[in-house]
Amino acid sequence: MTDYDNREKSADIALLKEMNSLRDIIENNSDWIWEVDVAGRYTFSSAKSIELLGRLPHEVIGKTPFDFMPKDEAHRVGKLFAEIAAERIPFAGLQNRNIRADGSEVLIESSGIPLFDHNGEFKGYRGIDRNLSNLPYNASQRLFELESIYSSAPAGLCFIDTALHYLTVNDYLAELLGKKTAEVNGHKVADFLPGIIPILQSALLKAYCNDSIPDAEFPMPDKQRVFFMRINAARYPSGQVSGLSVAMIDISALKKMEEKLRSSKQHYRNMVELNPQIPWTASPDGMITNVSSRFEKITGLTREEALADRWLRTIHADDRHPTLISWEHSLQTHDPLDVEIRFCHVEKGWNWMRIRAVPSVDEQGNVECWYGTAEDIHERKLLELKLIKANRRLEIQARTDSLTKLPNRREFKKVLAHEFMRARRSASPLAVLMIDIDYFKNFNDCYGHISGDACLRLVARALRKSLKRSTDIVARYGGEEFAAILPDTDQKGASLVAEHILQSIRAMGIKHSESKFRKVTISLGVTVYQSHLHSSITDQSDLMLTADQALYYSKKNGRNQFNLAELPC
């Protein structure tokens, strides 16, 4: 038993050191580390929010990034972030203006990654913000550098106003027009390139409608050269369109090459787009018609076992249905196929493979056949799965008290906020319990901190067993304090649970010679929220304060009991 306790203690200490190390990394990072939920509200903020925004972390929690931006900036960034969040993709280098608590503006660069729970459900983003306002910057030198780059760029660059006049052109574009820059600036585009006027007019219209502007190609008047043109809308700080920024690149050689390669289009697609590892082909209806000899070596399937749809029989049962759905979708839409599945290798057992395919279509768009590849990704996939598990463990550790294995204070507050909002919406009762071990300091002084830790673990285990419903939660709130949330529980139910908890702790009979009860006992404070009775309560912190007052009454009245305190109406 002693060895087990020592091992458990060592594990607890190691985990505590790891958590402290992670906390030090976060708090001493030069950038601001944050987390937001699916609604974009901050759920975590490092102390760097003070330096960047002039606001303490608790002043940030519950707000959205857009609450600290000017209105026009919030609209711009909000639209961008909505598109990013809809795709559940990482982002980096998102620059945005923020208003500090003192009213000054700060330029921030944001980066983040999506977060998912153990069920794969999207739960928000974790990211960092970097202060760009403090970067060393020589404006005149930077302007000179930008002008030099603009002037000598190996592409035609220009800025065109909304009346379709050239405001600035670089040397390359002026030379292309057979003029000097001074002879072009201020003149109408139509005086030099009338053929691109419809393209520019269409681009302006899309800019006014806040639509994306497509790339375009156009031939020069001499018909000898073809240019690729990329157009971006330029805007005033108010958001109003000020003109068009245009870049033109000579793609004549590329167009000639494209024409030569058109006859070998299928070969080009197979070599460049697929870069096949182990090739296979299928008929338009998805039946395998041919496989490489290497396919047998990697999958363990003979050619005959892989043809038609017989290969499906060797797929892991969990992967078979999703694979069929993906394959059927590709057959119907002609979209590329890309799946990761497990094959049953005759010698190796289950082996992860990546299967990809693209259709070969004729001039009318009809599928002639499918070209595919199979790639052994077993080792990479195993490593990927290990990393996913490791990340999930870290997520759990961040929410869990290392000593008692109960949810920690941060997780408790998060759950309480959720249950409080649910209780307000559904008009259901919500009970909160504050729990404190009686004379615990005396226990530690008498028996030592190792025994104190063991006592905390035993009490935590008893508290967890006392709550029978999966919706109930008990957490370590700090030191010898615990807290519990009982959704859908009225005063009568909360009192029954509190009494049951008291009896459970007493029944353990943990010796405590420095207590007047001669054994370990607890005191509880209980409060119950009901939205129709407590309309003045708008914040879950009021529940904690009231439950804490009830706990105080229990201690004042002799401990080893519970008291119930009413919330204000």
pLDDT digits (tens, 9 = 90+) for 429-483: 999 999 999 999 999 999 999 999 999 999 999 999 999 899 999 999 989 999 9
The SS3 of residue 24 is helix
**What's the pLDDT at 143?**
46
Q: Does domain 139-250 have CATH number 2.70.98.60?
A: no
Instruction: Kindly report the pTM of this predicted structure.
Output: 0.39
The span from the CA of 522 to the CA of 500, in Å, is 12
Statement: residue 18 has pLDDT above 70:
no
**Token pair belonging to 131:** 């202060």
CATH class of 400-564: alpha beta
The span from the CA of 369 to the CA of 358, in Å, is 9
Residues near 119 by beta carbon (within 8 Å), at least 6 away in sequence: none
Return the residue matching tokens 């202060």: 131
The span from the CA of 198 to the CA of 210, in Å, is 18
Element (H, E) at 350: strand 349-361
User: Across the chain, how many H-helices and E-strands are there?
Assistant: 19, 20
Q: Assess contact for 78 and 56: CB atoms under 8 A.
A: no
Band (pLDDT 50/70/90 cuts) for residue 15 is very low
The span from the CA of 502 to the CA of 463, in Å, is 9
**What's the pLDDT at 4?**
45
The span from the CA of 335 to the CA of 322, in Å, is 16
Statement: residue 163 has pLDDT above 50:
yes
The span from the CA of 358 to the CA of 557, in Å, is 77
**Token pair belonging to 166:** 């050239």
Answer whether 139-250 and 400-564 agree in fold.
no
Band (pLDDT 50/70/90 cuts) for residue 12 is low
CATH class of 30-131: alpha beta
DSSP β-ladder status, 166-169 and 156-161: antiparallel
Band (pLDDT 50/70/90 cuts) for residue 67 is very high
Domain layout of the chain by residue ranges? 30-131, 139-250, 272-381, 400-564
Exposed/middle/buried for 507, CB within 10 Å: 0-12, 13-18, 19+?
exposed
- Where in 48-190 does DSSP place strands (E)? 91-99, 105-116, 122-131, 156-161, 166-169
At the topology level, CATH places domain 272-381 in Beta-Lactamase (3.30.450)
Nearest to 487 by CA among 416, 549, 555: 416
Ramachandran area for residue 96 (φ above 0: left; ψ -120 to 50: alpha; else beta): beta
